[in-house]
Amino acid sequence: MAVSRDQILTKATEHLNHSPAASMAEIAQSVGISRATLHRHFATREALMVALGWRALDAWQGVHERIGLGETPAGERLEETLHALLIAQIEAAENYGFALTEQAMETDRALVTRAEELEAKEIELISACQRAGILRADFPPIWVSNTLYGLLLAVRESLRRGDVARRDIPRLVLETFLRGTTS
Amino acid sequence: MAVSRDQILTKATEHLNHSPAASMAEIAQSVGISRATLHRHFATREALMVALGWRALDAWQGVHERIGLGETPAGERLEETLHALLIAQIEAAENYGFALTEQAMETDRALVTRAEELEAKEIELISACQRAGILRADFPPIWVSNTLYGLLLAVRESLRRGDVARRDIPRLVLETFLRGTTS
DNA sequence: CTAATTTGCGACATCGGTGTCTCATCATAC
DNA sequence: GTATGATGAGACACCGATGTCGCAAATTAG
């Protein structure tokens, strides 16, 4: 095979990141293969999207493993873990931003389930941070989680429109998320 | 006419808010009219979307007028104006949330131009707030604006999923935007 | 070189959404 | 009542995207 399944997924991800409604024909072209070959690897558009979704969730889970989430973190490392999560999420969103609004993520049962599990782990961390006084406790944890979601969408939009430089993103998100916009 | 153009737009807006990719047939059904009648009022889907876009921008501009934006606000009223803007934007987003991601808003020249003008006014306010020390000055104003955009998307998502109560939204957004999630 | 495999190309049927049209029906105004 | 105008139902053609297929060319393995 001239083009591996993994290469297809990578190229498709890149293309969908700046053209989320692309057709199979567009995706095939961006990968550099024919429509037929693309269909040989992924029978339907749905199948392709689900495969991309799993890959995005792999990256998300990779973030969790890398920062040691789910290992009942001691109080000392809570803040450190939270910051690492934010940084890693930004990076993941830059690569898999399209998945943030891909509707296959809400259609496919398995994807939904897995995404909920990952989200639950983050909410657990947020709750722990609230109990430890690191994060304010007068917000529902789910709102804090959704806030991060919104900021990642703001990142995607900022990059797409060229509003801010890529290298500034981590600082902007971290500061905005943690301290807000007030001086 | 049993159903006025305005009623159609209102119902269509409601339906698109929880089903942003709805077809003309679905929209007609949600309005309670036939597909033919819908097409009599709006020849094409594009025309309908543009009309909805103008309405959303009318609401947005209405927010600006109500809080007196663009009248070279004195320093004293800057903070007050900013807070009013945030509150009003939340309310507008609850009604016209679908417009935040409707691609007609990026396709139609006139809509783009008008949206840019409105955005520019807000960025002006943000800049003024930064100069007055109300908002931190180490963020590009456009990022602050995009942050608000992201938070409004978080609101839309939170309401769609039923994560938080509608009445809590203003406090959550205001506090998150201004002070962040840290205690 | 040869055989097996993979690919690209083009044709094809299918499907759903769109936009147009006709005609019968219904409400309203006069 | 009659006339006017809006509506709903249904049929139709059109379009773009999807998914399938066969075949020839190219690549790879042996």
CB–CB contact B142 A133 (8 Å): no
Looking up residue B3, the CATH number of its domain turns out to be 1.10.10
CA/C1' separation B145–C12 (Å): 50
If asked whether residues B102 and B149 sit together in one domain, one would say: yes
What's residue B115's pLDDT?
Answer: 96
Q: At a CB cut-off of 8 Å and minimum separation 6, what does B9 contact?
A: B51, B52, B55
- Please count the structural domains in chain B: 2
* pLDDT confidence tier of residue A1, bands split at 50, 70 and 90: low
What's residue B3's pLDDT?
Answer: 77
If asked whether residues B37 and B57 sit together in one domain, one would say: no
Q: How large is the greatest C-alpha to C-alpha distance in chain A, in angstroms?
A: 56
Report if CB B6 to strand D is under 7 Å.
no
Asked if residue A67 lies in contact with residue A31, where contact means CB atoms within 8 angstroms, the answer is no
Q: Say yes or no to pLDDT of A155 above 60.
A: yes
Q: Say yes or no to pLDDT of A73 above 80.
A: no
| pLDDT, average across residues B80-108 | 93
Tell me the backbone φ, ψ of residue B156, rounded to 5 degrees: -55, -45
| pLDDT, average across residues B86-105 | 93
DSSP secondary structure of chain B: --S-HHHHHHHHHHHHHH-TT--HHHHHHHHTS-HHHHHHHSSSHHHHHHHHHHHHHHHHHHHHHHTTTTS---HHHHHHHHHHHHHHHHHHHHHHGGGGT-THHHH-HHHHHHHHHHHHHHHHHHHHHHHTTSB-TTS-HHHHHHHHHHHHHHHHHHHHHT-S-GGGHHHHHHHHHHH-SB-
Which residues from B are below 8 Å from A120, CB to CB?
A: none
If asked whether residues B98 and B119 sit together in one domain, one would say: yes
CB < 8 Å from B in window 160-179 of A = 163-164, 168, 172, 175-179
Q: Which of A48-62, A73-87, B88-102 has the lowest mean pLDDT?
A: A73-87
User: Across all residues in chain B, what is the average pLDDT?
Assistant: 93
What's residue A183's pLDDT?
Answer: 77
Question: Locate tokens 């339906």: which residue?
Answer: B15
Which residues from B are below 8 Å from A157, CB to CB?
A: 146, 149-150
Asked if residue B64 lies in contact with residue B49, where contact means CB atoms within 8 angstroms, the answer is no
Name the token pair of A110: 């398995």
Looking up residue B106, the CATH number of its domain turns out to be 1.10.357
**pLDDT tens figures, B38-84:** 999 999 999 999 999 999 999 999 999 999 887 766 667 899 999 99
| pLDDT, average across residues A23-31 | 97
The ipTM estimated for the assembled molecules is 0.90
**Residues above pLDDT 90, as percent of chain B:** 87
CA/C1' separation A123–D16 (Å): 42
Of A152, A164, A181, the CB nearest to B136: A181
CA/C1' separation A44–C15 (Å): 14
Q: Say yes or no to pLDDT of B127 above 70.
A: yes
Backbone angle region of B130, left / alpha / beta, with phi > 0 → left and psi within -120 to 50 → alpha: alpha
**In whole angstroms, what is the distance from residue A62 CA to residue A13 CA?**
17
Side chain identity, residue B77: R
Name the token pair of B60: 């947005």
Cβ–Cβ contact A106 with B under 8 A = no
If asked whether residues B23 and B85 sit together in one domain, one would say: no
**In whole angstroms, what is the distance from residue A160 CA to residue A101 CA?**
14
CB–CB contact B139 A176 (8 Å): yes
Backbone angle region of A170, left / alpha / beta, with phi > 0 → left and psi within -120 to 50 → alpha: alpha
User: Cα–chain-centroid distance for residue A70?
Assistant: 18
Integer-rounded Cα radius of gyration of chain A? 18
Q: Select from B145, B160, B181, B182 the residue whose CB has the most chain A CBs within 10 Å, as the one to mutate to test that interface.
A: B181
Asked if residue A57 lies in contact with residue A118, where contact means CB atoms within 8 angstroms, the answer is yes
Q: Which domain holds residue A26?
A: 1-43
| Residue B76 maps to a domain | yes
If asked whether residues B65 and B155 sit together in one domain, one would say: yes
| Residue B48 maps to a domain | no
What's residue A75's pLDDT?
Answer: 63
CB–CB contact B137 A176 (8 Å): no
If asked whether residues B20 and B78 sit together in one domain, one would say: no
Return the bridge partners of A182, or none. Answer: B135
B28 nearest nt, CA–C1': D8
Which residues from A are below 8 Å from B139, CB to CB?
A: 172, 175-176, 181
What's residue B88's pLDDT?
Answer: 94
DSSP class of residue A44 equals S
If asked whether residues B14 and B66 sit together in one domain, one would say: no
If asked whether residues A39 and A72 sit together in one domain, one would say: no
What's residue A77's pLDDT?
Answer: 85
Asked if residue A88 lies in contact with residue A63, where contact means CB atoms within 8 angstroms, the answer is yes
